Amino acid sequence: MINLDELGKKICIIGCSSSGKSTLAEKLAVKLNIPAYHLDILAHYPHSKWERKSDHELIAAHAAILKKDKWIIDGNYSVCIPERIKEANSIIWLDTNVLTSALRYVVRSLKNSPERIGRLPGAKNEFRLFMLKQILFIYPKNRAKYQKLMSNCEKLVVSIVDMKTLNQYYTQWNLQIAKCKVATER
């Protein structure tokens, strides 16, 4: 397992929706005193039903973050991922089982908690059929793109393929356990 101090000051967290990216980003931000940025929040208009901003707006906000001395950025967004990986010291890839992520998405949507880390400010409804489709059908197709990106980069890549391993990292890094349910292997 990778030690916390090996991650550096610019950490990229990618993976399937509802795999725990935002929660991990926040826990690491507190532990390492590094600001966390959630791309879902940057990419959508607050107080909307997850209305997407233009690629231009997202790229500009993303570029401003990359110029900072330290950051933790969680999210994918293919339009800006190559630049983020280029600038990152390390990449944490939460490549968990998509069925587990789909179940986590449905549960979090039903809870509809205003305190959820990574929640869009002012969002009234968490559930979108589009997101369930993304998790079950689009992410598995994107996995090959991420594998290629990870194999071609010369950065530290921490690949986490199940919730049990994620919880082990929470323990090793002395982060508050996020109560991640253990998933079966792919």
Taking the C-alpha atoms of residue 10 and residue 70, their distance in angstroms, rounded to an integer, is 5
Average pLDDT score over residue span 81-94: 96
- The answer to whether the beta carbons of residues 11 and 73 sit under 8 Å apart is yes
Bridge-partner residues for 13, per DSSP?
74, 92
The pLDDT, as a whole number, for residue 168 is: 94
What is the pLDDT, as a whole number, of residue 62?
97
Residues 118-140: pLDDT tens digits? 888 887 777 888 889 999 999 99
Structure tokens at 136: 């079950």
pLDDT digits (tens, 9 = 90+) for 154-186: 999 999 999 999 999 999 999 976 544 333 332
Domains defined along the chain, listed by start = 7-172 (3.40.50.300)
Count Cβ atoms within 10 A of the Cβ of residue 82 and give its class: 0-12 exposed, 13-18 middle, 19 or more buried. exposed
| Mean pLDDT to the nearest integer, 38-45 | 94
pLDDT at 37 over 90: yes
Residue 118: what are its φ and ψ, rounded to 5°?
90, 0
Q: DSSP states of 33-84 as a string?
A: T--EEEHHHHHB-TTSSSPBPPHHHHHHHHHHHHTSS-EEEE---TTTHHHH
